[in-house]
Amino acid sequence: MNRAKVVIIEDEPDIIEVMSYNLTREGFLVSASRNGVDGLSLVRNQSPALVLLDLMLPGIDGLSICQQLKSDPITRNISIIIVSAKGEESDVVIGLGLGADDYIAKPFSPRELLARVKAVLRRSPRQEGHHKDRIQIKELMIDTVRHEVSISDVQIKLTATEFKLLFQLASQPGRAFTREQLLNRVVGDGVIVVDRNIDVHIRSVRKKLGHYSQMIETIRGVGYRFKED
């Protein structure tokens, strides 16, 4: 992961400075642009592992950049973290729907920045290996072959939908999922379901997981995320 390339597209110099300093100190190779047009060109020329993308940019806005990168076969596997200000929750949801991997809300701490960057890079298409048959988090075990969930070897009875939902979240810890994304993965595209129904399933899963329920985090205005252990 060290020496991985990161491109920052952000129009605020102070934020670029904070990001660049902390990422460089961790061993990342950092480049930055303060407008959308140059930023998009920079990404295409450098083919970085990850892009930190502001939404409000001169030239081309962040959502348009995200859409262009994710629709291009050459750049679609580049990981994207949206950097958003308060009041942009709807844009964050759209960005995640376009294929962004996660988001950071301004203001943020250097520690949060590095944690998010490292988490996204760990699960990126360039880093992922074969599909896991089991996911183990301390005493919680999710067995995809047996389609079973257990805590301390005690089986937890989940419906098929609840199992798919838990597996989807737990297989990519740290990643933010919108309700629509979860429904599409659990129920399937083309099925008409009210997206708030996902909240009912989440509540049921949490109840059955007991003290492990805290592993499923609610992201206000966006959706859900499985906490990194």
**Which has the higher per-residue pLDDT, 14 or 222?**
14
Domain with CATH 1.10.10.10 in the chain: 134-226
Task: Select, from the ranges 128-132, 148-152, 184-188, 218-222, the one with the highest average predicted confidence (pLDDT).
Answer: 148-152
Percent of the chain with pLDDT over 90: 47
Residue 130 to residue 173: CA distance in whole angstroms: 16
Q: How do strand 176-178 and strand 223-226 relate by DSSP bridges?
A: antiparallel
Answer yes or no: are the C-beta atoms of 9 and 44 closer than 8 Å. no
For residue 31 the two structure tokens come to: 């480049």
pLDDT at 40 exceeding the cut of 90: yes
pLDDT band at 14 (very low <50, low <70, confident <90, very high): very high
At residue 53, φ and ψ (nearest 5 deg) are: -120, 115
* pLDDT given for residue 182 in this prediction: 85
Record: fold of 134-226: Arc Repressor Mutant, subunit A (1.10.10)
pLDDT band at 130 (very low <50, low <70, confident <90, very high): very low
Residue 5 Cα distances to 16, 26, 32, 36, 86, angstroms: 15, 12, 11, 18, 28
The arithmetic mean of pLDDT across residues 28-35, rounded, is: 95
Answer yes or no: are the C-beta atoms of 39 and 9 closer than 8 Å. yes
pLDDT at 218 exceeding the cut of 70: yes
**Which has the higher per-residue pLDDT, 40 or 145?**
40
pLDDT at 133 exceeding the cut of 80: no
Please, what is the Cα angle at 116 between 54 and 103, to 5 degrees? 35
Residue 95 to residue 206: CA distance in whole angstroms: 27
Q: Scanning the structure block, which residue is given the tokens 């952000």?
A: 10
- The tens digit of pLDDT for each residue in 190-209 reads 444 445 578 888 999 999 99
pLDDT at 35 exceeding the cut of 90: yes
Residue 185 to residue 162: CA distance in whole angstroms: 12
Residue 140 to residue 149: CA distance in whole angstroms: 7
* pLDDT given for residue 135 in this prediction: 87
Residue 94 to residue 66: CA distance in whole angstroms: 10
Q: Scanning the structure block, which residue is given the tokens 């200000």?
A: 85
pLDDT band at 2 (very low <50, low <70, confident <90, very high): low
Q: Is the peptide bond before 107 cis (omega within 30 degrees of 0)?
A: yes
Record: fold of 5-122: Rossmann fold (3.40.50)
pLDDT band at 154 (very low <50, low <70, confident <90, very high): very high
Question: What burial letters (b/e) apply to 177-198, b meaning 16+ CB within 10 Å?
Answer: bbbebbbbebbeeeeeeeeeeb
pLDDT at 1 exceeding the cut of 80: no
pLDDT at 132 exceeding the cut of 70: no
**Which has the higher per-residue pLDDT, 105 or 14?**
14
pTM beyond 0.75: the answer is: no
Smallest Cα–Cα separation from 30: which of 38, 40, 19? 19
